[in-house]
Amino acid sequence: MDGLKLTMDNLRNIFQKWEYSESKFRIDFETPPMPCGNQPFHISAGDGGGSGGGCSPAGSVRAKSGSLSKKGSKDTKPPQDSLIINIKRPFSFNHLPQRPPVCIQFTKLSYCISQECNSGQKSLLKSISGKFQSGELTAIMGPSGAGKSTLMNVLAGYRTSGVTGSILINGRDRNSRRFRKLSCYIMQDDQLLPHLTVWESMNVSANLKLGRNMAKKEKRIVIEEILETLGLMDCSNTRTSNLSGGQRKRLSIALELVNNPPVMFFDEPTSGLDSSSCFQCLSLLKCLARGGRTIICTIHQPSARLFEMFDHLYMLADGQCIYQGDISGLVPYLANLSLECPSYHNPADYVMEVACGEHGDVHDKLVLAVTNGKTALFNSHEKSTKEIVANGDANYNNKNAVSCTSALLHSDESLSTLGAGAGFPTSSFKQFVVLINRTFLSIIRDQMLTRMRLVSHLCIGLLIGLIYYDIGDEASKAMNNAGCIFFTVLFLMFTAMMPTVLTFPLEMSVFLREHLNYWYSLKSFYLAKTMADLPFQIVFSTVYVVIVYFMTKQPMEPERFFMVLLMCVLVSLVAQSLGLLIGAGMEIETGTFLGPVTSIPVLLFSGFFVNFSTIPWYLQWVTYVSYIRYGFEGCMIAIYGGNRPKLHCSEAYCHYRSPSKFLEAMDMKGAVFWIDVVALVGFFVLLRVCAYFALKLKLKLNT
C-alpha cells in the first residue's frame, strides 16, 4: 500500500461503504434508503434508545466497539454513555418554550482595557466586523491572545465597559438585558455543584428558568425530554461529581436548554475531552444549530475531523479578523492570497500557522482582504436562516408536535416584545425558596466539610472540658476559667470564619454562570446562601458550648447558660459574616492569609491579654471595633455577673472568691450584657451588608 494517498473525498467515499468506530462511536455518513416516516430525531443512551427496532437516523453516531466493521453487520448493544446523533437533522423538542431566531451582526467593534504599568490602554479587539447567522455552527479561532474569548464575551454582553462599535440583533441595536434573556453562555470549565444529582440540577434549572406559569408536571416533561435527548437519563440519579467529562459537558448544555435559548455561546467546548467525546460534543452542537439556533464557540486548534463539522469560521489574529466565511472556502481564500495549504495538511493547523506568522508577515494583507470583502467570493453556501432550517428538517412532518425548529421560526415572541426590566422568569421569593433548598441540600451532602465541622466541635469541646474539668466554681482557678472562656470564643470564631473564606469563592464560578444567564438575582442568591448555613452554625456552636459548659462546671443556672450560649452563637455568626466578606471580595489565596491576619488585632484588644485600662489612650478606640471583646465580655458577665454568690475556695486564701472582684480586675465591672448583644448584632448586620455590596462590586468588575 506504499504511496497510497487518501484525500478527504476518498475517505468520505470509503466511509459510505464502511462504518468507522473508535472505541465508542460508529459513524454512518450515508442516508438510509428506507425513510423513518414521522419519527422525530433524538439521542438515546443506555440500551440504544431509538437504535433498536426500526431505522436509524441519517448520519448517526452509534456506539459500538471495534475499529472497522462491514455495513449490515449485527449491531452490538451500545455502552451506557453512548449517543445516537444525526448531524443532518435538528432536535425535535416538543415541550420547550418558543423563541425567535436571532442573527448577530457587529460593525467596527473595538475593546480596550487600561494598563496600570504604563498608564495607557491596550486594544484587544481592533475595529472588527462580522455576522453570525442562525442555523449555523460558528467557530471563533485564533492563536492565544488573539481575542477569541474577548470577542465572545463582548457579543454575549459580559463585557460592556471599554467597548465601542455597534452590535445589531436581527438588524436592531442590541439591548444587553433583552439579549441576555434569549442567550446563554457555557463556560470552558463545567461549573456544576458537585453534591447535586443530574435530575436535581435540571429540576433547579426548570424551576428558575421556566417561570411561574408552567405547571410542575409540564416542567417534569421538559426535563425528561432533554435528558432523554442528550443521553443523560440513565445517569439522572448520579451526582455531578461522578460524571464523566462528556456527561458534564452535556449536562451544562442541558441546564441551559431548559428555556430553549436561540443563541448559545460556548467557550472551548472540547477542552479536556478525548477525541471521541470531542466529536460527540460537536455533533450535539451541530444538531442544536440545525434546529435554528445561533451556536457560537471558541476553539483553539481542532482536528481536521472536527474542523469540517463547523459551518462558519471567524479567524482572529492580534485582535483583527483575517478570515470570515465558510469552512470550505478557507483553503481557496488562502490560495488566492498565495498561501497554499499543503495536501494532507489540516486546514485548521495551517491557518493557525499563518496567523502566528510562520509563513511570513501576511497579517496586514489578510486583514485588508477581509476589509475589502474578498472572503465573500469563497462562501459557497450563502443561505438564509429559513433555508438552512428547512433543509435540516425537511423529513419531519409531525403535525401533532411542535419541533424546536418550528418554535424558533414561528414564535410570536421577538426581541422587541421582551421587557427591558430585570426580566427574571420567577419572583424573588420563588428564587429564594429554590436556592435555599439547593444550598441546604448541598451542605447536608457535603459530608467532608459538614461532618468535619461537627466532629471538630465535639472533639475540641471534649478536650477543653477535660483540661478545664470542674474549675467553673473554683475561686483559686478563676483566671484559668477566664482562659477557658476566651478559648471558647476564639475557637468558635475561627471555625466559623475559615470554612466560609475557603468555600465561598469556590461557589462564585457557579453563581457567575447562573446569574449572567439570568437564572436569578444577586439578592436572592446572597440571601439564600447566608440563611442556609445559619442553622448549621448555630447547631455546631450549641454542641460545643453544651459540652464545655457542663464539663467545666459553670453555674448551673438556665439563665446564665443561655446567656453564654447566646454570646457564643453571636460571635460565631459575626465571624462567619467576616469570612463571607473576605470570601466575596477576594480569591482563596488572599482570603486564607487575610482572615487570620485580620483576627490578630481583634484578639489583642479583646480584653483578655491586655486590660482596657492598660491600653494607651490613642489605641483604646480599637477595642470598640473588636467583636471578640464584646463576646468575651458578655460571656464573663454571664458567668460572674448578676450578683453571683461567692465562689468555692479549696485553698487557704482565694483572692477572687467574690465574682464582682474578679470582674473588676478584668475591667468589666461596669459592663452591661445587653449592650454587648446589641453590638454583636450590629456587627452581624453590618458585615452581611458589606459582603453583599462586595459581591455586587465583584460582579460588576467581572462584567
Residue among 449, 599, 434, 432 nearest 536 (CA):
449
Region 102-128: what's the mean pLDDT? 83
Give tens-digit pLDDT for 646-664: 888 887 788 888 888 888 8
Give tens-digit pLDDT for 471-500: 888 888 888 999 999 999 999 999 999 888
Give tens-digit pLDDT for 434-460: 999 999 999 898 877 888 899 999 999
Q: Tell how strand 163-169 and strand 263-267 pair up.
A: unpaired
Please give the residue that has the higher pLDDT: either 60 or 470: 470
Q: Give the position of cell 486548534.
A: 301
**Widest pairwise Cα distance in the chain:** 107
Please give the residue that has the higher pLDDT: either 90 or 130: 130
Give tens-digit pLDDT for 347-392: 999 999 998 888 888 888 998 988 888 888 877 654 444 444 444 3
The whole-number pLDDT of residue 680 equals 95
What backbone torsions phi and psi does residue 451 show, to the nearest 5 degrees? -65, -35
List CB contacts of 74: < 8 A, sequence separation 6 or more.
none
Question: How confident is the prediction for the chain on average, in pLDDT?
Answer: 78
Please give the residue that has the higher pLDDT: either 495 or 91: 495
Alpha-carbon gap, residue 387 to 405, rounded angstroms? 12
Burial class (CB in 10 A: 0-12, 13-18, 19+), 597: exposed
Region 244-271: what's the mean pLDDT? 88
When mean pLDDT is compared across 83-92, 209-218, 310-319, 655-664, the lowest value belongs to 83-92
Residues linked to residue 70 through DSSP beta bridges, in sequence order = 18
Contact between 275 and 392 under an 8 Å Cβ cutoff? The reply is no
Residues linked to residue 314 through DSSP beta bridges, in sequence order = 140, 324
Coil, strand, or helix at residue 637? helix
The whole-number pLDDT of residue 74 equals 40
Contact between 207 and 201 under an 8 Å Cβ cutoff? The reply is no
DSSP state of 32: P
What number of other Cβ atoms are within 10 A of residue 9's Cβ? 8
When mean pLDDT is compared across 220-224, 590-594, 698-702, the lowest value belongs to 698-702
What number of other Cβ atoms are within 10 A of residue 556's Cβ? 11
Region 221-235: what's the mean pLDDT? 88
The whole-number pLDDT of residue 342 equals 87
Coil, strand, or helix at residue 120? strand
pTM attached to this predicted model: 0.76
Instruction: Say what percent of the chain tops pLDDT 70.
Output: 79
When pLDDT is cut at 50, 70 and 90, the band that residue 671 belongs to is confident
Alpha-carbon gap, residue 224 to 236, rounded angstroms? 9
When pLDDT is cut at 50, 70 and 90, the band that residue 543 belongs to is very high
Determine if residue 357 is left, alpha or beta; phi over 0 gives left, psi from -120 to 50 gives alpha, anything else beta: left
The whole-number pLDDT of residue 412 equals 38
The alpha-helical segments, DSSP class H, found in 95-209 are 148-156, 176-181, 198-209
Which strands sit side by side in the sheet containing 25-27, from one edge to the other?
A: 61-63, 25-27, 18-22, 68-70
When mean pLDDT is compared across 48-57, 617-626, 678-687, the lowest value belongs to 48-57
Region 93-101: what's the mean pLDDT? 68
Fill in the amino acid letter for 672. V
Region 421-425: what's the mean pLDDT? 66
Coil, strand, or helix at residue 372? coil
What are 307's three cell numbers?
Answer: 474542523
Q: 394 pLDDT exceeds 50?
A: no
Alpha-carbon gap, residue 50 to 84, rounded angstroms? 8
Give tens-digit pLDDT for 135-193: 889 999 988 888 888 898 899 888 878 888 899 998 888 888 888 888 888 888 778 88
Q: Give the position of cell 452490538.
A: 76
Give tens-digit pLDDT for 2-52: 444 444 444 444 444 333 333 333 333 333 333 333 333 333 333 333 333
When pLDDT is cut at 50, 70 and 90, the band that residue 118 belongs to is low
Alpha-carbon gap, residue 547 to 12, rounded angstroms? 74
What number of other Cβ atoms are within 10 A of residue 366's Cβ? 24
Determine if residue 676 is left, alpha or beta; phi over 0 gives left, psi from -120 to 50 gives alpha, anything else beta: alpha
Alpha-carbon distance values, 553 to 337, 468, 549, 650 (Å): 90, 9, 6, 15
The whole-number pLDDT of residue 35 equals 32
The whole-number pLDDT of residue 577 equals 93
When mean pLDDT is compared across 50-59, 564-573, 633-642, 694-703, the lowest value belongs to 50-59
Alpha-carbon gap, residue 476 to 590, rounded angstroms? 44
Q: 95 pLDDT exceeds 70?
A: no
The domains of the chain, with CATH numbers, are: 104-114+122-417 (3.40.50.300), 428-701 (no CATH)
Which strands sit side by side in the sheet containing 137-141, from one edge to the other?
A: 183-186, 263-267, 294-298, 137-141, 312-317, 320-326
